[in-house]
Amino acid sequence: MRLVTYQLLNTTALRTGIQISRDEVLDIVNEALEIGSSYRVSTMLDIIAGGEVTMNLLREIEAHPKTAPVMLNKALLKAPIPRPTKNIFCVGWNYLDHFNEGGEVAKDNRELPAYPVFFTKAPTAVNGPYDVIPFDENISTQLDWEVELGVIVGEGGKNISEADAMRHVFGYTIINDVTWRDLQRRHGGQWHKGKSLDGTCPMGPCIVTADAIDPTNLDLECRVSGVVKQQSNTKHLYFKIPRLIHDLSEGMTLEAGDIISTGTPEGVGFARKPPEWMQPGDLLETTIEGIGIMRNVIGFY
């Protein structure tokens, strides 16, 4: 099932939907009203927290819709979780070729990590799949791209075993871990600031539920103004999803709606010779097989 958060044109309210075709979305709240359901389904976080009971309602809606679908030419898809309740968990160096290209730039003969590198992006960084990514040359001019598979946590937990981890996954989305590269390095080597500016976490265009996709073999690609910059497959993830969930949840509670961005493959701007950065007017396209495509223009504030 493909779940979306959308906005009807010329309105401000965010609505939840089931995308049933390229152009059509079933409005979940309207459908639930028709059925007489009292479940909370007005935000994606409600739906995820509702667990299997809510998913059964959505399956019923998808199988026997009672309202006319909303046409997507009259709506705009937004980030499926527009305002996460906490920071987005991110993984650094999780594709070997990206690890190596980073090592080449740093010239530090780094050893392969024994544990994943974790950092976070602020919730305010979240951006829609077709929204403008703000550019402020007074802050930085080194704007870089990072296509990543996003994992959405369903049932929360702590000290989750690798064997049990996939049971805690609600679904998958696309994230571009857009990074202001000099800010990332400027602050004592802590990545949080350079990866948390407003609008630097485009997410979407939907969440594909875990029962509908195999995350272990998905092509992913990032293009800037039509030129392919990154092209890989999630089978090359160094630390696989169960290991990420296990390590992250050790002594730290994961909750429904938490987001884990699993790391980016090779081909980022800073490792190119010479380095490349996005400019205002560039079109950033981020795509993962089976999930969809995001198109974000780089623009001035």
Contact footprint for Mg ion (CB under 5 A): 146, 177, 264
Q: How far is the CB of 11 from Mg ion (least distance, A)?
A: 33
Query: Do 180 and 140 form a contact (C-beta atoms < 8 A)?
Result: yes
Q: Which is nearer to Mg ion, 146 or 282 (CB)?
A: 146
Q: What's the CA gap between 1 and 211, in Å, rounded?
A: 8
Q: Which is nearer to Mg ion, 119 or 135 (CB)?
A: 119
Q: Which is nearer to Mg ion, 54 or 176 (CB)?
A: 176
Q: How far is the CB of 176 from Mg ion (least distance, A)?
A: 9
Q: How far is the CB of 191 from Mg ion (least distance, A)?
A: 9
Q: How far is the CB of 182 from Mg ion (least distance, A)?
A: 16
String of DSSP letters for 40-63: --SSHHHHHHTHHHHHHHHHHHHH
Nearest to 59 by CA among 79, 39, 76: 39
Residue with the closest Cβ to Mg ion? 177
Q: Which is nearer to Mg ion, 209 or 264 (CB)?
A: 264
Q: How far is the CB of 179 from Mg ion (least distance, A)?
A: 7
Beta bridge partners of 26: 18
Q: Which is nearer to Mg ion, 121 or 223 (CB)?
A: 121
**Which structure tokens are listed for 243?**
């290991």
Which parts of 95-239 are beta strand (E)? Answer: 117-121, 126-127, 133-135, 143-144, 147-153, 169-176, 179-180, 201-209, 219-224, 227-233
Q: Which is nearer to Mg ion, 54 or 184 (CB)?
A: 184
Q: How far is the CB of 272 from Mg ion (least distance, A)?
A: 16
Q: How far is the CB of 250 from Mg ion (least distance, A)?
A: 21
Which parts of 157-291 are beta strand (E)? Answer: 169-176, 179-180, 201-209, 219-224, 227-233, 259-261, 283-288
Cα end-to-end span (Å), the chain: 35
How many Cβ atoms sit within 10 Å of the Cβ of residue 159? Answer: 11
Q: Which is nearer to Mg ion, 200 or 264 (CB)?
A: 264
Query: Do 152 and 173 form a contact (C-beta atoms < 8 A)?
Result: yes
